[in-house]
Structure formats: C-alpha cells, structure tokens
Amino acid sequence: MDRGKIIYKESCITCHMGKGEGVPGAFPPLAKADYLIKMPEKAIHAVKYGLNGKITVNGVEYNTMMPNPGLSNDEIADVINYIQNSWGNSNKKIVTRKNGRGY
C-alpha cells in the first residue's frame, strides 16, 4: 500500500486527483468506482498499456485518452492494490505481478 501510494502520487494524481475523485466530464473517479469492481482486468490493462476509447464509470461515460504510465509489473500491482483499497474501495484479493491477468 505504501509503495502504491507513492506511485499514485507520481503518476496518477494529476488526473484522478488526491482522493481519487477524478474530474467530472474529463477524468473518471477511482473512488467508489464500479469499473474497478466490475472489470478489474480492464483496469489493470489500462494501467499497463494506457486507455483510449469510451468507458463508463458509475453511470457516467468518459472518452479521454489515458497514456501508458510506463510502470513495471510490480509497480502496476502496487498502485492497483492501493487504488482498490482506498477512498471507499475494498478488495481483499491482492493483485501481484503473477496473478494480475491482463499484463
């Protein structure tokens, strides 16, 4: 969690904001985000490769490109675990570089 928080502050906070709230109409929230629960593999894939195209988070459509942040597989696992267990999110299934399907 500590490593994931550092990575989040370095790579994600600019768009997804300090408490994962995102920017309405521009960048989706990560806090209490149904996308993380319904499609965890796609969330992992987005962090690994970036994201381009429409997605729906908490009933709101977003179509903003997310660049590939250039993280290692270990860093991806750390930041996903941090996101999935912060700001009202709760996921007891820990993502590791070996079990993180999609990368």
CATH code, 59: 1.10.760.10
- Assigned domain for 74 exists: yes
pLDDT value at residue 103:
44
- Assigned domain for 102 exists: no
Q: What is the pTM of this model?
A: 0.89
- C-alpha span between 95 and 79 (Å, rounded): 10
Do 4 and 74 contact (CB within 8 A), yes or no? no
Closest CA to 34 of 91, 92, 93: 91
- C-alpha span between 18 and 12 (Å, rounded): 9
Closest CA to 22 of 67, 71, 87: 87
- Assigned domain for 33 exists: yes
- Assigned domain for 66 exists: yes
What's the number of domains the chain is made of?
Answer: 1
What tokens were used for 96?
């590791």
pLDDT value at residue 100:
54
pLDDT value at residue 92:
81
- Assigned domain for 49 exists: yes
- C-alpha span between 60 and 29 (Å, rounded): 10
Range of the domain at 64: 2-83
Q: How far apart are the first and last CA of the chain?
A: 20
- Assigned domain for 88 exists: no
- Assigned domain for 92 exists: no
| pLDDT tens, N- to C-terminus, the chain (103 residues) | 999 999 999 999 999 999 999 999 899 999 999 998 888 899 999 999 999 999 999 999 999 999 999 999 999 999 999 999 999 999 888 888 775 544 4
- Assigned domain for 91 exists: no
pLDDT value at residue 99:
59
Burial tier of 86 (Cβ tally within 10 Å: 0-12, 13-18, 19+): middle
What tokens were used for 101?
């399907």
